[in-house]
Structure 1
Amino acid sequence: MSDLPQASPAPQPVPGRPEWAPAPPRPPLDPRSRTGALVGGGLGLTLVTWGLGAVAFGAVVGFVALAFGLIAHHAREWGRAGMRDLERFADAVPWWVVLAVVVIAVVFGIAAIIGGVIAEHAVLTRFGVHRPNAVLWSGLGIGLLANGFAGGVVSLVFSAVPQIDFSDGGMMMPGRFGLTASSGFVAFAVMVAVGALSAWWMAHAFRPTADELAAAAQPVPAAAPPAA
């Protein structure tokens, strides 16, 4: 008899509400939790995105350096004259410089990712956001996907703008620099906004129910004094 599956216990009725009554709607997200989600989401996604970019940059540099090194090595063995420029380039960059760039980029990226997660969790907890772990990870996942799409849109929009040169009249300000700076600023603003809105959306989705708020508002009974 002990091997038979046991039925799960029936849900207990909420005190003060009839069993037939439907659950009340969730109260709106309080202003303090909304502020914490917006601030923490914008900060966390920014740091995590920078960290992932740094790690990707280090990985690309390491892969390219390894590929160039292998090609240059085989070019020396084959003795092809057309590979002289590649050999000179490979010899001009010491291996320890490439290794230092890769290590610094990867270490900075990992530190930024960990720092972003810790910082966002600290902000969510400090502002009393309900279920901060769920808000953190779901907000970061949605934010990374949405930011990748939004960043691509920003790049397409600015790449379609004609490269205007404002060098006439002695201003000496090339249009390419202005467009690059504007693109970077807009991409940064979009990234912060996407992180803030993603965390706010998840904080709204995981906000406490009326029963949970009522249970949290009940006073904790005092402990009985020890018996003499």
Structure 2
Amino acid sequence: MPADLPVTYTCDWRGPFDGRELTAADLGARGYKLFPWQIDSSNPWWNRPLKYGEIGCTLAHLACWQDSVHNGQEWFTVILEDDAVLPSTFLDDLLVGIDLVARHQDFDLLYLGRVPLQPERERQLVTGFVVPAYSHCTFGYLLTRRGLDRILATDPASALAPVDEVLPALYIDHPRADFRARFPKCLAAAAFDPPLVGQRPKDEAGSDTEDSDFVES
């Protein structure tokens, strides 16, 4: 990162972000509530309980959103997870991309990298960018101040769920009716295509979300 770009690290904060240390009692004592995640489904991710690592990840993202608003960030906030891989031209490419997208679409969320789960070729916004369909992964994205305000207005702390699912629910009709009802669409989204930011492979970086215990009832 360029030396003059303000950067905040969640590892410097005292927060309940480590899924290896979280407990249901700790979450309750802090006033957090979980979304009723597990359902009877052919989707193996929906057909199991939440994991503490998933909750810790969501809480870290929530803390970033809240901190950005608290500190008066008026234009945009870039959020990068610790396994994000940035090109040497990251900042220049990002600023050019923001300007290009803004000429074609008013947006709240800009994915810098992600894993598309639905085809999008017919959804090209402009060369190098698409209007994203259902996507997973939050290792690199940007939120405008309006986007931050709209996300926080949904009160995600009262229905904690994987942030991978929360973000797409806010710009598409989520495939789960219960999730769609709790997190209705409120964001305009765009995405770099091809991605600007990559992610280290799981066999190299591991996974703090998956390598954690299930949340007990």
TM band (smaller chain): under 0.3
Q: Which is richer in strand?
A: 2
In our comparison, the structure showing a higher alpha carbon Rg is: 1
Higher normalized contact order (CA 8 Å, seq sep 6+, divided by chain length): 1
TM, length-normalised to structure 1: 0.20
TM, length-normalised to structure 2: 0.21
